[in-house]
Each structure stands twice: as structure tokens, then as C-alpha cells.
Amino acid sequence: MDSAPGNLSLKFGLIGRHIDYSFSRSYFTEKFKSEGLSHSYVNFDIADLTKFKAIIKYTPHLKGLNVTIPYKEQIIPLLDALDTAAQEIGAVNTIKIGADNALKGFNTDYIGFKNSLKPYLNKHHDRALILGTGGASKAVAYSLKQLDIAFSFASRQPKHHLDYNYHDLNETIITNHTIIINCTPLGTFPRIEECPDIPYEFINNKHLLYDLIYNPKETKFLMYGKSHGANTINGLNMLKLQAEAAWDIWNTPNSF
């Protein structure tokens, strides 16, 4: 799609499972409408990745895909190439489709996260606690490295190379990690009563709580943080920024 004319109708889409809620579809549909483009954006809701190659082969004028849970890591072996960031992160959320249906994976999650976090940072925000260990958490970790912010991982399930389980978290650990980022799906609509099981009582007004979830606008994780004086951010701006970064990739001639 390197130099596709504006009146050429191209197709883009989202690969994932249980994605009726899709931010991407509504965002790009509105974008195409507002910019007078005849492109379309569809959800490819698949139970597993065995159908992925058929989607690529049999969907006419398909030029770009976003990838969401649970396929950001699983999809990598099915691609022909990765850009440097996606390779280092180990997760892909954007695919560019080139000549002969060649597939290159990118990660724009880290761009969206980094650029949405930066305006909120103060000098004391020098260490972060990442909740969750999935593909999104890897992009967050990559962003924090770029921002020179130290980080640790925590999860409710014991995992190899994990810094903390939730039950390990105490006042000292919470106090020392002035940024806490929820990279889990806990709290996503409709299961809005859920949240990571961490000791919120140790959060204070020096903390910055970031939830990658955008629906609901304020999760229980963020509510608890705010009630203890923390500054809070949801994931909506991150999603907008990563979507625009994906659009740039799909429209950049040398991005393949």
C-alpha cells in the first residue's frame, strides 16, 4: 500500500479472539470516514491461528492487520520478518502485508504506551511495577527501558524469572515502585469488579497508576489508586497513539 491512491478501497483488520468490543474497528472506521477514504476495517475473530494463512490468502486488498489477545506472541512464527522493536519485545500487534503477501510484524504498543506515559512523569517516578507477563507487558517493559525507568514484574501465578508474586508485595516494595502498571485483563468490561490482588493500602500520592484497559474508563484498579491519592491514567490514549503508529507503518514505503 506504499502509494495507494486515496480512492482505492483497501482492507485492514484485527486478528484476535472474542473481539466484538474492538477499539480498532471503531477507531479506523471513523478515521476512514472523516478522511474521506473508502477503506474498510474488519474483525477476524478466530478461535486459533490455523485460519490465519487463509485470511491472508483469500481476503482481497488486505494491506494491514492489528493483532490483539491472545495472539501477539503466537503469531510471530507465521510471519516472514520482524522489525527490530518487535523482535526485541517478542510480541507483535501490527502486521504489514507486502508484495506476494509477505508479512512483516511490528510493535506499536510500546510507542503508544511510552508517549502516553511521558507527560505524567516526575523525577520520583524512577521505578515501575508491571502487573502481568503477557505480550502487552513486554511492550511496556521495552518502553520503560527507553525511558530509563527501572522495573520489576509481578503476577498472581508463579513464573520462572518473575520478580514477585502478588502475595510477595509488601509496603516496602509498593512504596519503592512509584509507577504501577496493570497489563492484565482484570477489570475489563463486563467483569468490572475484578482487579489485580495487590496491597492498595500502601499506595500514596507519589504513585502513578496506569491501566492499559480503557473500558471501563476507570477500572477498580484505578479507583483504588485514586482513593489513596495516586495519579491515574487509563489506556485510551495509548490505543489511539498505537493505532496512528500502525497507520504510519502501513503507509510508509520503506517500512517493509
Q: Has residue 2 been placed in a domain?
A: no
- Catalytic-role residue among 63, 72, 104, 138: 72
pLDDT, position 78: 98
pLDDT, position 157: 79
Whether residue 39 is found in the same domain as residue 152: no
pLDDT, position 101: 94
Convert the pLDDT of each residue in 38-67 to its tens digit.
999 999 999 999 999 999 999 999 999 999
Query: Which of 80, 107, 134 delimits the end of a domain?
Result: 107
Which domain covers residue 35, as residue numbers?
11-107
Number of domains into which the chain is organized: 2
Whether residue 173 is found in the same domain as residue 83: no
pLDDT, position 252: 86
DSSP state of 245: H
Rg (CA), the chain: 19
pLDDT, position 201: 98
pLDDT, position 8: 78
Q: Has residue 50 been placed in a domain?
A: yes
pLDDT, position 255: 61
Look up residue 79 and give its three cell numbers: 510471519
Q: Has residue 6 been placed in a domain?
A: no
Long-range contact pairs involving 117-123 (C-beta distance under 8 Å, separation at least 24):
117/143, 117/147, 117/179, 117/210, 117/233, 118/147, 120/208, 120/231, 120/233, 121/147, 121/208
CB distance 32 to 38 below 8 Å: yes
Whether residue 136 is found in the same domain as residue 230: yes
Whether residue 102 is found in the same domain as residue 127: no
Whether residue 101 is found in the same domain as residue 115: no
Residue ranges in the chain modelled with pLDDT below 50: 1-6
Convert the pLDDT of each residue in 128-137 to its tens digit.
999 998 888 9
Is 31 one of the catalytic residues? no
Whether residue 225 is found in the same domain as residue 168: yes
